A and B are shown apart, each in its own frame.
Chain A
Amino acid sequence: MKNENKIQYIYGIADNALILGQRLSELCGHGPNLETDIAMTNMALDLLGQTRSYYQYVAQLSGDGKTEDDIAFLRIERQYKNVLLVEQPNRHFGYVITRQFFYDAFHLLLLEELQNSDDETVAAIAKKGIKEVSYHQRFSSDWMKRLGDGTEESHQKVQEAVDDLWKYTDELFHMTEDDKIAVENGVGVNTAALREKYDQRIRDVFEEARITIPETKWFQKGGKQGIHSEHMGYLLSDLQYMQRTYPNMKW
């Protein structure tokens, strides 16, 4: 497998962790209460840690002198390969939890397969991540149930969030050309094959949470090709501000 294909494949996983981690870290000091604030920033930290491991590996593979920081902070919007789901803004707590729940369910299934990758580094990062993402999934699943099966208002808010975010879930299972090459070479995961398990996981939690899955058959896509929603530019300007303003700045 050519390094360039492998790098693109890794971006498809790592950028999700970076962007979702960035969204969660926006909540630092703004959570609804201390415990959830700490929980969400803890998850952000796990995701950014995973991102660093992936980007360090990409830097090593590309061999062009770029560092993990260049990769995180100095790409342009079109070069980020995260799915649209993770870049959606923090509208309210129920919305944040729903976005997290939709991603965690996928993330855990992905990592469980990715730990068997023929690429040792990718497998090691995945294996380490499983432990962390298991906690994330517990947290977001518990909150889906609490909100969905909670008060009338919490139920309504979380159902609306599901109705709005559901259209971004299909993209998780789309296979890009680089994904296919990675699968053929034993490096990547055939995400399309995870769909059934994913749907089952969602249904199980929704049943307890008294939430219904929208009937829409129309799904939004584009992030994996680098074509993002209008929220991405604002997110990146926040994320990249320091490196753009003070080039080569170091901690």
Chain B
Amino acid sequence: MTIEFEKHIDPTLIPILEKVHDPEIPVLSIMDMGVVRSAQMIETIAQITITPTYSGCPAMDVIGDDIISAFAKKNIEAKVSLVLSPAWTTDWITPRGREALEKYGIAAPLHEKADKEALLGGKKIVKCTQCGSTNTKMVSQFGSTACKALFQCNDCLEPFDYFKCLK
């Protein structure tokens, strides 16, 4: 799926938006997560639209507040609204975001088919973020937050999170 939301984002607002991070995954800016759908100055107010990752994700409220305070620091009033459709997918995480996730110790989402094989078929394809081995196993489909599953490496024995593919 290709997304064309870039054109709705005023490039001058990007540096401010990049300062806002997911409170649960502090290495990931909301731009790299792909949750910002539009950002425009309408007269003196920055109108920002974001889309939730998971319906119940408590990070969304915090992200909304953080956007407002990031703009307030620049003396700009911001208004944040939430849109549900089209639904967010992990494909919207940028390459830079995927890299940041891996460095932070969270395996980036695989493609849909591979994800199913990893989560349902027990296929050893999720790479350990510590040692790089794919000799890993799923411990639980559900992890520390709604978007993650829990894995463990059979070689270095480290447990790690895997960001589930969402399409």
Count of A residues near B, CB < 8 Å? 27
15 contacts between A and B (CB under 8 A): A35-B150, A38-B140, A39-B141, A45-B54, A48-B56, A53-B55, A53-B84, A125-B55, A125-B84, A127-B87, A128-B52, A128-B87, A131-B166, A132-B55, A135-B142
SS class, residues of chain A in contact with chain B: helix
Alpha-carbon gap, A124 to B83, bound state (A): 9
Contact code string B138-156 (vs A, CB < 8 Å = 1, else 0)? 0111111010001000000
Alpha-carbon gap, A123 to B57, bound state (A): 20
User: B8 in the interface, Cβ–Cβ < 8 Å?
Assistant: no
Apart from the given pairs A129-B55, A135-B141, 14 other A-B contacts in the complex at a CB distance below 8 Å: A35-B140, A36-B140, A38-B143, A45-B56, A47-B56, A49-B56, A50-B56, A123-B85, A128-B52, A131-B166, A132-B146, A135-B164, A139-B141, A139-B142
Partner of A46, one of B55, B85, B120, B167: B55
User: A67 in the interface, Cβ–Cβ < 8 Å?
Assistant: no
Interface of chain B residues 117 through 149 with chain A (CB within 8 A): 119-120, 139-144, 146
Count of B residues near A, CB < 8 Å? 23
Which residues of chain A are within 8 angstroms of B143 by Cβ–Cβ distance?
38, 42
Which residues of chain B are within 8 angstroms of A49 by Cβ–Cβ distance?
52, 54-57
Partner of B85, one of A120, A135, A138: A120
User: A52 in the interface, Cβ–Cβ < 8 Å?
Assistant: yes
For the complex formed, measure the closest distance between the CB of B162 and the CB atoms of chain A, giving whole angstroms: 13
Interface of chain B residues 100 through 121 with chain A (CB within 8 A): 119-120
Which residues of chain B are within 8 angstroms of A127 by Cβ–Cβ distance?
84-87
Chain A residue at smallest Cβ distance from B144: A38
